[in-house]
Amino acid sequence: MNQDGKAPVVVARDVTRRYGQGQTCVDALRGVSVDIESGRLTAVMGPSGSGKSTLMHILAGLDKPTAGSVEVAGQEITRLNDGDLTKLRREHIGFVFQFFNLLPMLTAEENITLPLTLAGEKGDDAWVKEVVGDVGLSDRLTHRPAELSGGQQQRVAIARALVSKPTVLFADEPTGNLDSTTGGEILQLIRESVDNRGQTTVMVTHDPRAASTADRILFLDDGLIVREMHGASSHEVITTMEEIGV
């Protein structure tokens, strides 16, 4: 599964992020450079406070770096205004949340097509059907989130993230709020979308098992990338984490 030849779709250079000012300031990122290659699943690992979430927020255009640059699909995003960022999100970014973040008043189907609705696109019915089929929700479309299990809710969330064919999909602890069986199913789904459609994906996780499904694993500690692995079993991931001293 060697896809090294592909061009990076997200490029971060010397990214630093400082919170607060003066004596109480905290450096969450202290100069991170990374390329996210197209069509691969990249996992970002690290303990709490390592800066992994901050990195993802900055890569996804949710937060601005104190210094450094970030390009998504060839576009420098750190100086975009709100309107352009909205456009960026519509066209290039998909997001899967730890707590699903479904809108409780909408049905599963309405949740899934919401990004299209917001962008004012009609949406391709066949494509929507395909995505829904892939996540295995064809018989749950009229249900409200409250009527769905955690796993089903996360499936809706994944379908929602995929429906707009994003350049890059960010998954923030996608299994963090699920039991291990259901978590496994979700990871498999993410893996399949990478394999079958070449969906570029960045996943932030604590879970060595989740990280082991990735093509590439970045280890962050104290605001820096300290190690990188290309394909690893969960055992290897655990060993690596212990080596780093986390």
Partner 1 sequence: MTRFALRGLLSRKLRTALTAIAIVLGVGMISGTFVLTDSISHAFDRIFTDARKGSDAVISGKSAFDTSSSDASLTPTFDESLLSKVRQQPGVAQAEGSVSTDSAHLIDKNGKVIQFGLGGAPNLGFSIANGKSPFNPLSLVDGTWPGPNQVVIDKETASKKHLETGQDIRVQVEGPVRTLRISGIVQFSSGLTIGGATIAGFDLPTAQRLFAKQGRLDEIAVAAKPTVSDAELVKQIRPILPADAQVRTAAQQVAKDASDTNSFIKFLRSFLLAFGGIALFVGAFVIANSLSITIAQRTRELATLRMLGASRRQVLRSIIIEALALGIMASVVGLFFGLLLAKGLFGLFDLIGFILPNTGLVFLSWTAVIVALLVGILVTLLASLRPAIRATRVPPIAAVREGATLPPARFARLRSVGAALMAVGGVAALAYGIFKHGLGTKQVLFWMGFGTLLMFIGVALFSSRLVRPLARVLGWPATKIGGAAGLLARDNSRRNPQRTASTASALMIGLTLVTLVATLASGVIASFSQAVNDLFTGDYAITAQNNFSPIPIDAADAAAKAPGVTVVGNVRTGEIHVFGKNAFATAVDPGMAQVINMKWQAGSQAVFSELGADGAFVDKDYAKKHNLRLGSRVAVTFPNGSTRQFVIKGVFDPPSGGTPFGPVTISAAAWDAQVPSPENLYSFVKTSGGTTAANQAALEKALKPFPNAKAQTRKKFISSQIGPFKQILNVLYVLLALSVIVSLFGIVNTLVLTVFERTREIGMLRAIGMTRRQVRRMIRHESIITSLIGASIGIALGLLLATLLIVRVDFLVFSFPTTQVLVFFVAAILVGILAAIFPARRAARLNPLEAIAYE
Of the pair 20, 104, the CB lying nearest partner 1 is at: 104
Work out which of 38, 66, 69, 98 binds partner 1, going by CB under 8 A.
Answer: 98
- Binding to partner 1 by residue 99, rule CB under 8 A? yes
Distances from the Cα of 30 to the Cαs of 17, 60, 220, in angstroms? Answer: 7, 18, 11
DSSP one-letter string for 86-108: HHHHHHHEEEE-TT----TTS-H
Stretch near partner 1 under the rule CB under 8 A, chosen from 16-24, 38-46, 57-65, 228-236: 57-65
Of the pair 171, 237, the CB lying nearest partner 1 is at: 171
User: What does the alpha-carbon distance between residue 187 and residue 184 come to, in Å, rounded to a whole number?
Assistant: 5
Binding letters toward partner 1, positions 106-145, x by CB under 8 A: x---x---xx-xxx--------------------------
Stretch near partner 1 under the rule CB under 8 A, chosen from 43-51, 100-108, 214-222, 231-239: 100-108
Least distance in angstroms from the C-beta of 220 to partner 1: 17
Q: Which of residues 169-188 bind partner 1 (CB under 8 A)?
A: 172
Spell out the alpha helix ranges (H) of the chain: 52-59, 82-92, 108-119, 125-135, 150-162, 180-197, 208-211, 234-244
How, if at all, do strands 216-221 and 41-45 pair?
parallel
User: What does the alpha-carbon distance between residue 192 and residue 135 come to, in Å, rounded to a whole number?
Assistant: 10
User: What does the alpha-carbon distance between residue 237 and residue 232 come to, in Å, rounded to a whole number?
Assistant: 6
How, if at all, do strands 67-72 and 8-19 pair?
antiparallel
Give the end-to-end CA distance of the chain in Å, rounded to a whole number: 29
Cα Dmax for the chain: 56
- Binding to partner 1 by residue 19, rule CB under 8 A? no
Structure tokens at 203: 């996943």
Of the pair 16, 86, the CB lying nearest partner 1 is at: 86
Work out which of 28, 43, 46, 53 binds partner 1, going by CB under 8 A.
Answer: 53
Binding letters toward partner 1, positions 58-97, x by CB under 8 A: ----xx------------------xx-xx--xx----x-x
User: What does the alpha-carbon distance between residue 199 and residue 90 come to, in Å, rounded to a whole number?
Assistant: 16
- Binding to partner 1 by residue 57, rule CB under 8 A? yes
Binding letters toward partner 1, positions 143-162, x by CB under 8 A: -----------------x--
Structure tokens at 46: 């690290």
Work out which of 21, 104, 125, 139 binds partner 1, going by CB under 8 A.
Answer: 104
Of the pair 92, 216, the CB lying nearest partner 1 is at: 92
Helix, coil or strand: residue 243: helix
Judged by the rule CB under 8 A, the positions of this chain that interact with partner 1 are 53, 57, 62-63, 82-83, 85-86, 89-90, 95, 97-99, 101, 103-106, 110, 114-115, 117-119, 160, 164, 172
